[in-house]
Structure 1
Amino acid sequence: MILWQCPYYNFSNGLIDTMLPKQRLLKQCKCSPQQICAPPKPDSTLFTMARIVRLEGPLALYAGLPPTLLTAIPSTAVYFTSYEMLLKRLKTAFPEQNHGLLAMASGSMARAAAATIFSPFELIRVQMQAVANAHPFATYMRRVWQGGARQLFAGLGATLARDIPFSAFYWYGIETSKEYLMDRVPIADAQTKKVSVALISGVLAGVLATISTHPFDVVKTRSQLVVYTKDMAPAPSFTQLLQQVWEAEGARGMTAGLVPRVVKVAPACAIMISSYEATKQAFNVD
């Protein structure tokens, strides 16, 4: 039974991708490798969260948060700044073009740049969270570096294959939803209206983008875990992993963790874009 057939691995593709201490939890279950890979009953999101809290306490839900913030904060700053700059340039260059299409192009390019720049740190974060008693961040940096510079970008192809389409769908959904909702949301105050519209648009765009790109997220996570389990050996290509998952597990493998991922991503997208819009309003930035 392979690693990604474990229910805890499947769940980590979704709600607690950055927080679930999988290996420590599995060790405390005192199961054999075969038993570990057999899904518990029931295997719902709430059941898994309750199990984590019962075995390790409420703080276990936030395990792995520091390395996540270490990459997420600067990556998001680069991503949003690049998007705004590119979108303004494209609107100036192509004033008659559909804003949704311009947003797709801007979001794709901005995400590609941010994902490439922070790929080494994302790889180390995934590996640290996949292993019990993980070593300090610097130790993992040295271990990956010993495998050559190429190892620093293992899984980047799968990451881009997921993130570029996700960003394209997301920003298209954001811009088109904003244009549709601005004249239909009955809120008098202009600033409150913009933030509210951004919140609703974030939910809609997040659901659309998540469902459209989830198979790529499954392959991306597996490609990064393979790098560790093979002791820094070159990982299979994105297309090879995609084929392996489809042949071994079919549609079920491609949609593993979809529901909890939607539960995580949709509100996260809404909070992120509405917070961004509120910050722009606070600083009088259009």
Structure 2
Amino acid sequence: MAQPNAEPIEDYDYESLPPNFSLMQNMTAGAFAGIAEHCAMYPIDAIKTRMQIINPASSNMGSGVIQATYRMATTEGIFSLWRGMSSVIVGAGPAHAVYFATYEAVKHLMGGNQAGVHHPLAAATSGACATIASDALMNPFDVIKQRMQIQNSSKMYRSMFDCAKYVYRKEGLAAFYVSYPTTLSMTVPFTALQFLAYESISTWMNPTKKYDPVTHCLAGAVAGGFAAALTTPMDVIKTMLQTRGSAVDAELRTVNGFVAGCRLLYQREGTRGFFKGVKPRVLTTMPSTAICWSAYEASKAYFIHRNNTSS
């Protein structure tokens, strides 16, 4: 019996992996989504890093995002807002390719691709597994990025490769992964919360689970902002650990883990210190998540359409 030429794109659950969508195509879509996500809001991410650092040199950033952006641009030059972005471009592509490949595979194994059914547990679990795998690849690039985002970094590092060599020579390989446990303590609950919210919001907005860019964008933005706000304390500690090697504070340079970081932060700044940079973090994450899901689903739709046409 002859097979139909192609199924329309909208017949697929937009979060599932269609039978004619290859692993390589999925990873390509994920890589494109990751680069788009990180690069679009990079200047705000740089401001968030400056706000989170325990360093008197960065205390003149101001209290608001706009004020901090203006001061950084006028004192260090407009291009300082993009210092370290090369590290994100190099790392985000492969890391997000691994992320979405792992997410789709685990969700499929857990039966989360059954159309028309709400699968919050499968979404949360697959998201957590995806972030564990992708963060193992991305963490060194994130360390380099944040080292280049700190004040006066241009006097220490000429490029991401120069920064990587400097960190390795001065602090060893462990410096690239000292924040990995703390990163996971943030990204695993972040991803679980994000996907729980995303699955619930997108199911409510689009019960038929047909391809809908508006759903991807809005559900992703709300879910990302919600998860970002709740996990800000872990992000502050992660920044502390990843930038400790550039600190002039002797006590800060000896911090070697999450608990020690929490203790020092509480001693210096109290409970409020754990939510430093929450506004730029949420402002960065909401559009970034919206861009990520929109770019990923648009890429996936393109490949599905191309595969259907060629078949």
TM-score normalised by the shorter chain: which range applies? 0.7 to 0.9
Alpha-carbon offset, residue 138 of structure 1: 3.2
CA 1:254/1:203 → structure 2, altered by over 3 Å: closer, same or farther?
Answer: same
> 1:183 Cα deviation (Å)?
3.8
Conserved? CA contact 1:20–1:64, under 8 Å: no
Contact 2:224 2:289 in 1 (8 A): yes
- What TM-score does the superposition give when structure 1 sets the normalisation length? 0.77
Sort the Cα spacing of 1:145 and 1:234 in 2 relative to 1 into closer, same or farther, 3 A.
farther
Q: 2:205 aligns with which of 175, 178, 181?
A: 181
Query: Superposition pairs for residues 1-286 of structure 1, below 5 Å?
Result: 16-18=44-46, 37=59, 40=62, 43-91=63-111, 99-130=119-150, 131-133=153-155, 134-146=157-169, 147-183=171-207, 191=211, 194-229=212-247, 235-284=255-304
- From the superposition, tell whether residues 258 and 59 of structure 1 become closer, same or farther in structure 2 (CA, over 3 Å): same
Rate the CA distance shift 1:199–1:129 in 2: closer, same or farther, 3 A: same
Judged with a 3 Å threshold, the aligned counterparts in structure 2 of structure 1 residues 59 and 39 are, in CA distance, closer, same or farther, namely: closer
Q: Superposition RMSD on alpha carbons, in Å?
A: 3.3
Q: 1 CA distance for matches of 2:113 and 2:283?
A: 38
Mapped partners of 1:62, 1:154: distance in 2: 24
After TM superposition, the score normalised by the length of structure 2 is: 0.71
Q: CA deviation at 1:57?
A: 4.7
Residue 45 of structure 2 aligns to which amino acid in structure 1? Answer: D
Evaluate the alpha carbon distance shift between residue 283 and residue 51 of structure 1 in structure 2; reply closer, same or farther with a 3 A threshold. Answer: same
Matched with 2:24 is: none
Structure 1 gap segments, 5+ residues each? 1-13, 23-32
Change (3 A) 1:183 1:214: same
- CA contact 1:227–1:235 (8 Å) conserved in 2: no
Number of the residue aligned with 1:28: none
> 2:47 touches 2:65 (CA, 8 Å); kept in 1?
no
- Offset of residue 279 of structure 1: 1.6
1:229-267 deviation digits (Å, cap 9, x = unpaired): 379x76421111012212321221011111111111111
Q: Structure 2: state its 5+ residue gaps.
A: 1-41, 306-311
- Using the alignment, how far apart are the partners of 1:71 and 1:240 within structure 2? 28
Counterpart of 1:203 in structure 2: which amino acid?
Answer: A
**What CA distance in whole angstroms lies between the structure 1 residues aligned with 2:213 and 2:234?**
31
For the residue of structure 2 that corresponds to 1:127, the secondary structure is: helix
| Contact 1:18–1:65 (8 Å) recurs in 2 | no
Write the deviation string for residues 17-45 of structure 1: whole angstroms up to 9, x where unpaired: 347896xxxxxxxxxx96863564xx321
Structure 1 letter corresponding to 2:154: A
Structure showing greater relative contact order (alpha-carbon pairs closer than 8 Å, 6 or more residues apart): 2
1:102 Cα shift?
A: 1.0
CA–CA separation in structure 2 for the residues paired with 1:281 and 1:268:
20
CA distance, structure 1, for counterparts of residue 43 and residue 272 of structure 2? 18
Count of residue correspondences: 254
**Contact 1:165-1:213 within 8 A present in 2 as well:** yes
